[in-house]
Amino acid sequence: MRKSFIIEKLKRSEQYDMKDNEIHEEYEMYYLVEGKRHYFINGTSYTVHPGDLVFIPSYALHKTSDPGVHHHERVLIQFHPSFLMGGSAADEHALSVFRQPYPLLHLDPSQQSVLEPLLELMIKEVQRREPDSRLMLQALLVQLLLTARRWGAEQSAKQLKETPLAKQKVTDIVHYLKEHYAEPLSLEQVANHFYMSPYYLCRMFKKSTGFHFTDYVHMIRIHESQRRLLTSKDSVLDIALQVGFKSLSHFQQVFKKYTKLTPRQYRKSTQA
């Protein structure tokens, strides 16, 4: 089982790309201290600069990659929904920062001077391991989320920019895949739907998202299957067919590739 709260500060000087595409129940925040990164979230690619704070919702498809600037330092926070104090209205208000239209905040120096001490306090509290450390971390996390929510509201108007044509096309394709994941989805069929060649779609999709077309379709289907494994009593075979896989063996193979567990192990682990 994962820990309910993790904070990690890490500095790298070598090239680094995430090998595995991530999907998980935990919420995630990523703060870049130095360097430059590409961040892909739910069909859109963002360039992250120092002072940027990124919000990754629960079960969002995401991946970071190297834009050619190898040196970078970042702080990563990951927490399970149950970590907050009990699903109250106040918790939901704090978590609403993850539902903003734009998942990346560009913090000015004054905002950075507020955020960075909060992060340092969290890191020290994790290291202290006092009896009341969980309560202290919950309070600091809620303070961070509510503060970031205010910053996001202030910045939202500035971040509504026109999407370039190619990015908009990829966004349209991603929406189409999410709506039709249960149907047969071949590269050729989707390319025909959007009046482009399979080669061009494949190349444009990989360049914009960092994912191959087939991998992305698999991730959407696995994401939906995780939700159904948690919220329904349907059999693993039924769920495999419901999310678009033609055979149980193929579903189990792909599910284990992305989650490191079989579907039955995943369902059992979440019920523990």
- Element housing 247 (H / E): none
pLDDT of residue 209: 76
Q: Where are the alpha helices (DSSP H) in 43-184?
A: 89-95, 109-128, 133-155, 165-179
pLDDT value, residue 88: 62
Higher pLDDT, 92 or 261: 261
Say if residue 158's pLDDT is above 60: no
Please tell me the predicted confidence (pLDDT) of residue 40. Answer: 86
Whether residue 20 has pLDDT greater than 70? no
* Domains of the chain as residue ranges with CATH: 5-155 (2.60.120.280), 165-270 (1.10.10.60)
Q: Stretch 87-111: mean pLDDT, rounded?
A: 82
Determine the pLDDT at residue 1.
43
Q: Does the pLDDT of residue 67 top 50, yes or no?
A: yes
User: Which of 106-120, 149-163, 216-230 is the least confident region?
Assistant: 149-163
